Amino acid sequence: MKRARILTTMRTTNPTHPREFLADITRWESIYDDIEKLLSPYLAIDFDDLDRALGTFEWGKEDLDFCHNEKDVVDFGAFAYEDTVVAILRICFQIHGKFKDHQATCNIGDPDRVFFIKGGNKPPKAEFMVEWKTPWGLRMTGDLVEEFNNNRDTPGNKLVKAISQIYGYISFNNLQFGALCNYEALYLLRRDGDLGLQVSPPFKYSDKGVRSPVAALTYICHHVAKTSSFYYSPIEQGPKGINILRIHDFDVKGSWDSGLKVPWDKMNLYLMGQGRKNVATVVSGEVRHQLASGFRYKKAAFFKVYDITTPQNLKAADKEILAYEKLKALQGKYIPKLYAAGVYHKTLKILVLEDCGETAHSGNLGPEFWKEAEEALLALHKFGAIHGDVKLDNFAISSSGVMLIDLGACRQGAPRDINSELEEFKALKNYETARKEEDEGEPEE
């Protein structure tokens, strides 16, 4: 790979606390043997479809010969490694998987690439995650295990940050495996026990056969496709399918009851059910007390989780928290209550929000919906604010009424902005009303 002359100057971020949450890493000694056992039987077989797939790589690789920044490295890696792995999995093992960016699955955090299995009725679930770095930004030529263990207490060490980052991503999402790659070398990571992490030897770009990066990725993707990839949270071993997080540094400490003081330092966040993802992940769950906390209350809640290893996400999270604080008088009636907000592992900023019912959609709009929805929007406007993203699924319906949710785009608005947003709301109302009448076979008025 050739390095372009114009390079990114973005700083490396500091996502996790390896001293507190990650023991010394150890070597994954058996990985070469494991890969050889899986792939050796296929090396002597001639697959015409695979030859054609690899021929496509040879034809197109010259178009990706220069990289300016990390995104270019990810694109190059996707072409050179991921596409080949996906072809091998499909042709040799009948596994239909796919690599995409973090938006493809509702995972916690924003890893560069996720692998998931295609097909089925359920939304795709991340099974394996890859974090990419540029070869000039993160050199990985020596012994990663020794370098990490010797420098884990050194502020600013890029390798410690990178390994801690991918460890954070896989532990947040109850996964066992991850990978760290700068294109020139790939390392596989495997969680071992509650706080342990094993790291493979390097799989270098120049390596061939069962010791190549393609072989390493093929082995891991085959493994997670054929076996359960669930691995318990390092915080607490809760039921499968639940992510258990905790806030360490607080921006907001509130309560769901004016007469109740919640000891947030002793509360766990149980993220359950199916979420949705845009800039942040939104998922339902519960706030529960830790064992021996002396506090016996729990509360249903929604969690909005931002990956703040990127500056723009940190800015967006802080902006949304500020909007809730400025509109505190509307919380619980027109917008959800913000119970708490803060940072977990220096990687995630979490907003703990009131569970205010079911997201509005065309099938659950009652006779009073539009009146109550407009009332909520006008309440924001009276404070000089606009919501910034008025659409049907940004309203929630409960027994107590309709609330506006997702204040990520909320901001102060001039009278012109407020009038424009009110017109957008009226257009949405007219469209949904006309569509309902058409579905019911009623003539338009």
Is the domain of 111 the same as that of 221?
yes
Check: CB of residue 232 under 8 Å from CB of residue 176: no
> Does position 2 have pLDDT exceeding 80, yes or no?
no
Is the domain of 265 the same as that of 211?
no
203 lies in some domain: yes
Residue carrying structure tokens 């790659």: 181
325 lies in some domain: yes
Which of residues 337, 354, 371 is at a domain's end? 354
Q: What's this model's pTM, rounded to 2 decimal places?
A: 0.77
260 lies in some domain: yes
Which of residues 354, 379, 411 is at a domain's end? 354
Is the domain of 164 the same as that of 20?
yes
Strands 281-289 vs 276-277: parallel, antiparallel or unpaired: antiparallel
Q: Percentage of residues in the chain with pLDDT exceeding 90? A: 51
pLDDT band for position 398 (50/70/90)?
confident
Is the domain of 185 the same as that of 215?
yes
The whole-number pLDDT of residue 129 equals 94
Is the domain of 135 the same as that of 57?
yes
How far, in Å, CA of 307 to CA of 317, rounded?
9
Residue 376, exposed/middle/buried by CB under 10 A (0-12, 13-18, 19+)?
buried
**pLDDT digit string, tens, across residues 288-306:** 988 777 787 899 999 999 9
Domain total for the chain?
Answer: 3
Is the domain of 93 the same as that of 196?
yes
CATH of residue 425's domain is 1.10.510.10
Average pLDDT, the chain: 84
The whole-number pLDDT of residue 8 equals 32
Q: Which domain holds residue 368?
A: 359-439
The whole-number pLDDT of residue 130 equals 93
Strand partners, 344: 348
Which of residues 354, 379, 397 is at a domain's end? 354
238 lies in some domain: no
> Does position 428 have pLDDT exceeding 70, yes or no?
yes
Is the domain of 160 the same as that of 96?
yes
Is the domain of 69 the same as that of 139?
yes
33 lies in some domain: yes
First-residue to last-residue Cα distance in the chain: 65
Is the domain of 257 the same as that of 115?
no
Mean pLDDT calculated for residue range 406-430:
96
**pLDDT digit string, tens, across residues 335-350:** 999 999 999 888 899 9
- Alpha-helical segments (H) within 118-240: 144-151, 158-172, 213-226
Is the domain of 56 the same as that of 161?
yes
CATH of residue 279's domain is 3.30.200.20
> Does position 23 have pLDDT exceeding 90, yes or no?
no
Is the domain of 312 the same as that of 290?
yes
DSSP secondary structure letters along 369-410: HHHHHHHHHHHHHHTTEE-S---GGGEEEETTEEEE---TT-
234 lies in some domain: no
Is the domain of 342 the same as that of 385?
no
Among the ranges given (111-125, 189-203, 221-235), the one the predictor scored with the smallest mean pLDDT: 221-235
Q: Which helix (H) or strand (E) holds 190?
A: strand 185-192
19 lies in some domain: yes
The whole-number pLDDT of residue 300 equals 94
> Does position 229 have pLDDT exceeding 80, yes or no?
no
> Does position 180 have pLDDT exceeding 50, yes or no?
yes
Q: Percentage of residues in the chain with pLDDT exceeding 70? A: 84
pLDDT band for position 423 (50/70/90)?
very high
233 lies in some domain: no
**pLDDT digit string, tens, across residues 54-66:** 554 444 455 555 6
More confident residue, 77 or 37: 37
